[in-house]
Structure 1
């Protein structure tokens, strides 16, 4: 089945039932970690808090800033190099539909846990909104079944100022609250990505993981509240990433 807007309903039926090949997913995440070698750091106490969130058995929604086309690879590598590694094979990531067009690439995206997104700028607002509602339902159901979800909620690469998070789409809030309505209590985790290849000495990309927040504990019950929380939390995480980047630049100057 082709990933096309005209058959979005069938596409999402497929990804509701689709199961990642766990061994292949772990191998691919490991290869990406070896290839990209991000420096993974944590906000104070975040690593232990992430372990506790994983042990709770509740699903985790990961939000990351979007700077470059390589971000999904850095995010996957970060998953392999962090406590999230234990859940590889049951992690889903939203990816633009054009990445699913070429069969060989689609096989890789499927193994990494990709779920296609039909964006309004590619397909028009009305068609994308209808497909988007179905996508939100599928993502919420996957989370209620125990999958983790990774999202780049800015929706497009930040070409202006990578240190400032762009306005987020509301989809991230709808996915989380719809999952909660299905009887789970998701954790929200922000990961900030920063690149350092403009420095005098080429350095590994940075990925900073912030402290997980459980929606129920924070009283986040509406899509707008969740989106606002993620926007603020993701900005603070990106601030941490760029703070580490600045310290690194001074240290190597």
Structure 2
């Protein structure tokens, strides 16, 4: 299937494509390894969490990874952290939600397609009414990809935190809807919270040097999940703030 242009007007074709798209796993692992070497995130875990993540991966449990959003380079930190953690084993079968404008330039699109990205049309860019149908389809695609065996990584704040990097912004309900829809398809996922801290004075446009050596912290994964999207979102809000607190404390 040919790559469709990633535009809102073309969203049906876009999500048909990303429902089936599969990157080259060997190349993806090589890319993640390169980013781990380049950005060198420092990984820490709450007690027992490293082994718990290994158990979840070994048992083929679907993962919903929630990450706070501080800079435009956060995906590089997440990729490097995945390589340096038990998440290495799910590289190549993890879908990463990314804003649609990142898919506009062909070379950049090739790179983020390799990372397993799925485009998101954001209301702040196109208007909430305009993106409603595309957003519903995106969430259905994510849920179906999980049913087929993929994990999903999400920045649930939806935009970079330009206020206080130590305090999570209010997260949207999207992560709750995706998780709830996957559960309705028979998936029994685990929520994994990854907190990132670059220390004080780093803004959304930070360069590579400023984000190198990030503090990354994993809290205990949550497997006993409520069914309602709003309740899942509230659970993520609390769990991800705990992860951010851990990352900040260990910077």
Instruction: Give the TM bin, normalised by the shorter chain.
Output: over 0.9
State the match for 1:224 in structure 2.
230
The RMSD of aligned alpha carbons is 1.6
Number of equivalenced pairs = 241
Which of residues 67, 73, 83 is equivalent to 1:64? 67
Task: Give the secondary structure class of the aligned counterpart of 1:208.
Answer: strand
State the match for 1:54 in structure 2.
57
State the match for 1:90 in structure 2.
93
State the match for 2:219 in structure 1.
210
Q: By how many angstroms is 1:198 displaced?
A: 5.4
Structure 1 residue ranges (4+ consecutive) displaced by more than 3 angstroms after TM superposition: 196-199
1:40 maps to 2:17: no
**Deviation by residue 1:154-185 (Cα, 9 ceiling, x = unmatched):** 00000000100000100000000100111110
State the match for 2:5 in structure 1.
2
Q: By how many angstroms is 1:34 displaced?
A: 0.7
1:197–1:203 CA contact under 8 A, matched in 2: no
State the match for 1:190 in structure 2.
193
State the match for 1:122 in structure 2.
125
Task: Give the secondary structure class of the aligned counterpart of 1:213.
Answer: coil
Distance in structure 2 (CA, Å) of the matches to 1:69 and 1:209: 21
1:237 maps to 2:230: no
State the match for 1:250 in structure 2.
none
Q: How does 1:156-167 map to 2 (within 5 A)?
A: 156-167=159-170
1:63–1:190 CA contact under 8 A, matched in 2: yes
Distance in structure 2 (CA, Å) of the matches to 1:173 and 1:198: 31
Distance in structure 2 (CA, Å) of the matches to 1:178 and 1:244: 35
2:46–2:219 CA contact under 8 A, matched in 1: yes
1:62–1:149 CA contact under 8 A, matched in 2: yes
Task: Give the secondary structure class of the aligned counterpart of 2:195.
Answer: strand
2:179–2:189 CA contact under 8 A, matched in 1: yes
Distance in structure 2 (CA, Å) of the matches to 1:222 and 1:107: 36
C-alpha distance 197-169 of structure 1, shift in aligned 2 (>3 A): closer
Distance in structure 2 (CA, Å) of the matches to 1:167 and 1:130: 23
Task: Give the secondary structure class of the aligned counterpart of 1:163.
Answer: coil
1:196–1:203 CA contact under 8 A, matched in 2: no
**Deviation by residue 1:122-150 (Cα, 9 ceiling, x = unmatched):** 11111111110000000000111111100
Distance in structure 2 (CA, Å) of the matches to 1:31 and 1:98: 24
Q: By how many angstroms is 1:87 displaced?
A: 1.1
Q: By how many angstroms is 1:196 displaced?
A: 3.2
1:106 maps to 2:115: no
TM-score, normalised via structure 1 length: 0.92
State the match for 2:28 in structure 1.
25
Unaligned runs of 5+ in 2: 203-210
TM-score, normalised via structure 2 length: 0.93
